[in-house]
Structure 1
Amino acid sequence: MGQVYEAITPRLQQFIEAQHVFFVATAPLSDTGRVNVSPKGIDGTFAVVDDRTVAYLDITASGAETIAHLRENGRITIMFCSFERQPKILRLHGRGRVVSVHDPEFAQWQPRFPETIAARSVIVVDVERVSDSCGYGLPLFEGASERDMLIGHIERKGSEGISAYRVEKNATSIDGLPAFEEREDADPVHAEPSHA
């Protein structure tokens, strides 16, 4: 049976840290707007900050729905589910905010995560509700491994290419809401990666 918790317990934190994938759900306020669910799964990009706060490193990608929705209304749900022996689903409901790579605050969050010029922001969530359910209907998967394509794909664009990509792909949501604001005049936060 499912349970609601006052906060993220040490045992739940251990469960979170053992998962290889999580899902982020957000939605605009408009009743005609599209609900978005994004899968995430790069090791080291999710952090439990304390029993009521979590954060994850947001990597530059082809859309910016989560950013747009959080800027409009802040609602967010993060879901973890085990595809291994322990059948469990965990949901964190809360209010999220976007800390862009162009924000001074980003420097305080970046050390928690792998450093990469592919980073677009950190999503910080104040957790308001923690609940789990059985997960008995989920399949078992074995032998899963990290797919290390996204960060490398974005890093190969270089700083200028990433900036141009964000202007083209991340400025608005699919419903036309303002999303990621690229500041081309800003000082770069990260150094260029070195490729052997």
Structure 2
Amino acid sequence: MGKQFQALSEAHTQFIAEQKVFFVGTAVDQGRVNISPKGMHTLKVLSPHQLVWLNVTGSGNETAAHVQQNARMTIMFMALSGDPLILRVYGQAKVIHKHDTEWDTWISQFDPLPGARQIFVLNIELVQTSCGMSVPYMDYVGEREQLNDWAAAKGEAGIADYWQAKNHTSIDGLPTYIQGKGID
């Protein structure tokens, strides 16, 4: 049932493009494992060996804290319609913040989103597929706009205040460096 690949195939890339949601898993040596659901058309496959996704402001910032301590990341996609399939992408990730010099280069890959806070670049080490036969069928109704509306209403200054209050450390107290090293 399960198969492993050293890179994404064209079929894998097409499957990823069709998915409306994906899940990001990260962990450090000590502390909690984090699994975050993502959507909003924020992920792009750049090559068979690399993908990139835009992270927007949310209630926590575990992924950024974890990746800066331990770069391993797993991204999982699953078919909620059509033929069953689960696809996991394993690799080493790098976080790029708005204050990093690379930001302007990477942000051009994406449509603008209010509250954009980091970009993650994943260098792929392994791709694994499995059957997904136990995953239920789900109907896609549409995107939720509440997060975009919330971020737009806050504005840049309000988002910066929110990052300071809610996003500068993980739930285990690890720094995220969202506003720069020495600031968090």
Partner of 2:62: 65
- The alpha carbon displacement at 1:134 in A equals 0.4
Partner of 1:15: 15
Number of corresponding residues: 180
**Runs of 4+, deviation exceeding 2 Å:** none
Partner of 1:168: 165
**Structure 2 vs 1, CA of residues 93 and 163 (structure 1 numbering), >3 Å: closer, same or farther?**
same
- The alpha carbon displacement at 1:75 in A equals 1.1
Partner of 1:84: 81
- Provide the rounded CA distance (Å) in 2 between the counterparts of 1:84 and 1:128: 27
The correspondence of residues 1-196 of structure 1 with structure 2, limited to 5 A, is: 1-30=1-30, 33-43=31-41, 45-182=42-179
CA deviation digits over 1:46-65, x for unaligned, max 9? 00011110110010111000
**Structure 2 vs 1, CA of residues 148 and 112 (structure 1 numbering), >3 Å: closer, same or farther?**
same
- Provide the rounded CA distance (Å) in 1 between the counterparts of 2:140 and 2:128: 28
Secondary structure at 1:112 match in 2: coil
AA at the equivalent of 1:108 = T
- Provide the rounded CA distance (Å) in 2 between the counterparts of 1:122 and 1:157: 21
- Provide the rounded CA distance (Å) in 1 between the counterparts of 2:79 and 2:52: 20
Cα RMSD, aligned residues only: 1.0
Most deviating of 84-93 and 140-149: 140-149
- The alpha carbon displacement at 1:116 in A equals 2.8
Structure 2 unaligned spans of 5+: none
**Structure 2 vs 1, CA of residues 137 and 7 (structure 1 numbering), >3 Å: closer, same or farther?**
same
Secondary structure at 2:65 match in 1: helix
AA at the equivalent of 2:22 = F
What is the identity percentage for the equivalent residue pairs of Structure 1 and Structure 2? Answer: 41
- Provide the rounded CA distance (Å) in 2 between the counterparts of 1:19 and 1:117: 22
- TM, length-normalised to structure 2: 0.95
Secondary structure at 1:147 match in 2: coil
Contact 2:117/2:178 (<8 A) preserved: no
- Provide the rounded CA distance (Å) in 2 between the counterparts of 1:86 and 1:113: 29
Contact 1:26/1:70 (<8 A) preserved: yes
- Provide the rounded CA distance (Å) in 2 between the counterparts of 1:162 and 1:20: 26
Secondary structure at 2:177 match in 1: coil
Contact 1:166/1:180 (<8 A) preserved: no
- Provide the rounded CA distance (Å) in 1 between the counterparts of 2:140 and 2:171: 35
Contact 1:23/1:40 (<8 A) preserved: yes
